[in-house]
A and B are shown apart, each in its own frame.
Chain A
Amino acid sequence: DTGVSQDPRHKITKRGQNVTFRCDPISEHNRLYWYRQTLGQGPEFLTYFQNEAQLEKSRLLSDRFSAERPKGSFSTLEIQRTEQGDSAMYLCASSLARGLALETQYFGPGTRLLVL
């Protein structure tokens, strides 16, 4: 499968625990995005990377959330001291940006987080 992959697909944790999700973008895609999707809603933007640089963060991304893309390839999203309100589907997307051309974002299958 050459699409965007995410791991784990499901995560159940207790409130207060830390969790980390991984996203592997499509090979050679230079932009990587994280979105959060709750039931009955569209995906909401969290943050994005251009190569290894984190260039934009949403106000939804509280200081308990941190994302990295250390070598410009895979990315991790960590949530510290999880709260029940963090329960959601966390989606990763990647795209190949060339200059100012508008590019398609391809989504991964998501990691479904349930905080008990």
Chain B
Amino acid sequence: GENVEQHPSTLSVQEGDSAVIKCTYSDSASNYFPWYKQELGKRPQLIIDIRSNVGEKKDQRIAVTLNKTAKHFSLHITETQPEDSAVYFCAARLSGAGSYQLTFGKGTKLSVIP
């Protein structure tokens, strides 16, 4: 099955700085890579996703890059704000009919220091 590794487990940045979270996956058949943000006591919320036919995707201060050859993808948050503080999870999904589960990394706790 798929295995997703996520680093770092914790990350502290000063407000206004950038944050980068990296994930690797094991199965080259994975073709969908979402990122979820989970604030304390709340549900995971999708913040951005990328399909395997795309190398980079941006949405305002958030961007995700994908390197299929190396089997890794990264989340970039620029101009961080205190409200960006949360746990971020990367995930991967295998392609093919009948396999729709997401395999998640262990999460990165991001703290943005005002």
Contacts and interface: CB of A to CB of B under 8 A. Distances in A.
Interface of A: 3-4, 31, 33, 35, 40-45, 48, 55-56, 58, 91, 95, 97, 100, 102, 104-110
Interface residues of B, number: 27
B51 interface: yes
B89 A43 contact: yes
Interface of B is mostly: strand
A100 to B, nearest CB: 7
A41 B107 contact: yes
A96 to B, nearest CB: 12
Given A41-B106, A41-B107, A42-B106, A100 B44 contact: no
B100 A31 contact: yes
Given A42-B89, A42-B91, A43-B44, A105 B98 contact: no
A109 B42 contact: yes
Contacts of B32: 102
A35 B100 CA distance: 13
B101 A48 contact: yes
A56 B42 contact: no
Interface in B34-91: 34, 36, 42-46, 49, 51, 89, 91
B54 to A, nearest CB: 11
6 smallest beta-carbon distances between A and B, as pairs: A42-B104, A45-B101, A107-B43, A102-B32, A107-B44, A109-B43
Given A43-B102, A91-B44, A104-B46, 10 more contacts: A4-B43, A35-B102, A42-B105, A45-B102, A55-B98, A97-B100, A105-B102, A107-B36, A109-B43, A110-B43
Contacts of B31: 102
